[in-house]
Amino acid sequence: MSFLVRKITEKDFDNGFFETLSNLTVVGDIYSNDELKRDVIGKVLGDQNYIIIVAEDLESKKIIGTATLLIEQKFIHNGGKVGHIEDVATRKGFEGRGVGRKIINELIKLAREQGCYKIILDCDAKVAKFYEKLGFAKKGIMMRMDLNAKFGAIYL
């Protein structure tokens, strides 16, 4: 199997991107709501601090992996930058073939090029060993508060 890792283009959103992302979590109505899809795509592609990488299967030309790097400008560390890795997903049936590893390595390279002094991410315990093999270390505790009832929030 051969695949190409590259930055996302607008055509990728209709070429398996959402199907790949749905292997990670619920994508929602963006599949069928063209207006919402265009709005979000415009915002994401128009933000230079929002970098989405995809893996394209060279045979089928479908998107089989994706991850996002968000660049945060800080006041601390002399105005340094932090890279946040989000939404790492491999298309169902393509797990264990090096897609995720290649995508994460590309995001690490891009974070260095952007001048980031560190990269952080949150993950499930079941995939922590994958990230540790790539050089990440467990630090601190991740905290979360869900704010949208549509996606499972509990209001007190």
| Between residues 156 and 90, the one the model is more confident about | 90
**84-98 pLDDT per residue, tens:** 999 999 999 999 999
44 in any annotated domain = yes
**DSSP assigned state of 135:** T
Q: Kindly indicate the confidence band of residue 82, based on its pLDDT and cuts at 50, 70 and 90.
A: very high
Which single residue is written with the structure tokens 């709005």? 39
Contacts of 91 (CB under 8 A, 6+ apart): 16, 19, 20, 23, 62, 63, 64, 65, 99
Of 5-9, 24-28, 45-49, 115-119, where does mean pLDDT reach its minimum?
A: 24-28
- Domain residues for 72? 3-151
Q: What is the mean pLDDT of the chain?
A: 91
- Token readout for 130 is 């994958």
Predicted pLDDT of residue 149? 62
Q: What CA dihedral angle connects 39, 44, 47 and 53, to 10 degrees? A: -160
Over 70: is that where the pLDDT of 154 sits? no
- Domains identified in the chain, total number: 1
Residue 156 falls inside a structural domain: no
Write down the pLDDT at residue 151.
Answer: 58
Q: 76 vs 47, 70, 88, 90, 101, CA distance in Å?
A: 22, 17, 27, 34, 30
Question: For residue 27, is it within any domain?
Answer: yes
The C-alpha atoms of residue 53 and residue 74 are separated, in whole angstroms, by 23
Asked whether residue 6 carries a pLDDT value surpassing 80, the answer given is yes
> According to the model, what pLDDT value does residue 155 have?
47
